Structure 1
Amino acid sequence: MTWEVLSIIGTIAFAISGAIVAMEEEYDILGIYILGIVTAFGGGAIRNLLIGVPVSALWEQGLLFQVALFSMTIVFLFPNKLLKHWHKWGNLTDAIGLSAFAIQGALYAVEMDHPISAVVVAAVLTGSGGGIVRDLLAGRKPLVLRAEIYAFWAILAGLLIGFNIVSDPVGLYTLFVTIVLLRVFSYTYKWKLPNRSLHNATSSSGDKDLSQ
């Protein structure tokens, strides 16, 4: 039951997220549906390839495809007054999708008796794979590659589930809410992982050469 609920939550959240990005980029209705479907199912397809599940398993999720199509249609028909809030809602639905699919991916790998490394990879790919494909198709820098904390929360979910620290339904739903909140806090308060930039070094070197 937990698996099915998380699948539905993640599908709705990522389908809406993909549709919002498509509308921000001024795609037509076909582009909206394509980007929403890719966002909702891209991560699961990539995960299946890497952990040995036939890609054809994707086509057995008829109900989830219907849920995704219905969600995108509702978003497309939203009143224009709500358009100004779409960026904020897009971040929230992306956070929900990340959390739901990261947990679902980790559970999938545990169910197949894969090692902890595979559980973490499955969590990251399921949680962020669809978003990566979405951003690439929309001509954006993928969220998972930015300094802003994103994929780390999927890694955290994979570790907690892989080491069997969280396994019962109550714990999984608590983890789901926690990951959503952490992701919301990370983009609200601009939490970032350490990074290095060559731009400053290049600029400093150029200024030094000019001064000489």
Structure 2
Amino acid sequence: MTWEVFTVIGTAAFAISGAIVAMEEEYDLFGVYVLGMITAFGGGAIRNLLIGVPVSALWGQGGFFQIALLSITVFLLFPHNLLKHWPVWGNFFDAIGLSAFAMQGALFAASMSHPISAVIVAAVLTGSGGGLIRDLLAGRKPALLQNEIYGVWAAVAGGIIGFNIVHSTLELWCLFIAITVLRVLSYKYNWKLPRRSLSSE
């Protein structure tokens, strides 16, 4: 049940996040739906490929496809004046999607008795894969590959679940809120990881 709840939250959040990016790039309505759907399901498809689950398993998730479509439609129906702060909302929904899908991916890999390394990789790919594909299709520099802290939070969620630090449903929800808040704080205050450059400057 917890796995399914995080899937629903992540699907809705990333579908809206993709729709916001498409609207910022001035895509037509079809493009908004396409980018929203790809953002919602891209991370899960990448994860399935790497942990041995057939990608075709996605086609059995009809209910989640309906959730994604409904989320995008509801968002499009919002009054324009409520959407004037698209970048802020986009980052917020992206943070929710990152946290929910990272935990969903980790729980999914852990349920298959994969080692801790696979659980962390599943968390990172599921949490940030959809956003990575979204940014690439929109011609943007992916947040995952910048020095801004993004994928690290997905890895943290995967590590905590992989090491079985959280057990109860309440603890999982607390972890979800913590990862979401940390992601919001990292872009609000521009937290960055150390980097190495080949530039002589």
TM-superposed CA distance for 1:82, in Å, is 1.8
Match of 2:134 in 1: 134
Instruction: Please give the residue correspondences for 1:143-182 in structure 2 after superposition, counting only pairs within 5 Å.
Output: 143-182=143-182
Match of 1:51 in 2: 51
User: How many residue pairs end up in the alignment?
Assistant: 201
Match of 1:35 in 2: 35
Match of 2:112 in 1: 112
TM-superposed CA distance for 1:167, in Å, is 2.5
TM-superposed CA distance for 1:196, in Å, is 2.3
Match of 2:4 in 1: 4
Return the alpha-carbon distance in structure 1 between the equivalents of residues 30 and 167 of structure 2.
40
TM-superposed CA distance for 1:103, in Å, is 0.3
Q: What amino acid does structure 2 have at the position aligned with 1:124? A: V
Instruction: Please give the residue correspondences for 1:58-137 in structure 2 after superposition, counting only pairs within 5 Å.
Output: 58-137=58-137
TM-score normalised by structure 1 residue count = 0.93
Identity %: 70
Return the alpha-carbon distance in structure 2 between the equivalents of residues 173 and 68 of structure 1.
22
TM-superposed CA distance for 1:66, in Å, is 0.3
| Matched residue SS, 2:191 | coil
| Matched residue SS, 1:63 | helix
Deviations 1:56-100 (A, max 9, x none): 110111111001001101111221112321110100000000000
Match of 1:209 in 2: none
Q: Which runs of 5+ in 2 are unaligned?
A: none
Deviations 1:2-50 (A, max 9, x none): 1111010000000000000000000001110110000000000000000
| Matched residue SS, 1:9 | helix
Deviations 1:142-163 (A, max 9, x none): 0000111000000000110001
User: Which aligned segments of 4 or more residues in structure 1 are displaced greater than 2 angstroms?
Assistant: 196-199
TM-score normalised by structure 2 residue count = 0.98
Return the alpha-carbon distance in structure 2 between the equivalents of residues 134 and 165 of structure 1.
32
Larger Rg: 1
Return the alpha-carbon distance in structure 2 between the equivalents of residues 75 and 102 of structure 1.
23
Deviations 1:90-115 (A, max 9, x none): 00000000000000000000000000
Q: Give me the CA root mean square deviation.
A: 0.8
Q: What amino acid does structure 2 have at the position aligned with 1:148? A: E
| Matched residue SS, 1:108 | helix
Deviations 1:160-212 (A, max 9, x none): 0001001221111000000000000000111100012344x1xx5xxxxxxxx
Return the alpha-carbon distance in structure 2 between the equivalents of residues 126 and 84 of structure 1.
29
Q: What amino acid does structure 2 have at the position aligned with 1:33? A: Y
Q: What amino acid does structure 2 have at the position aligned with 1:19? A: A
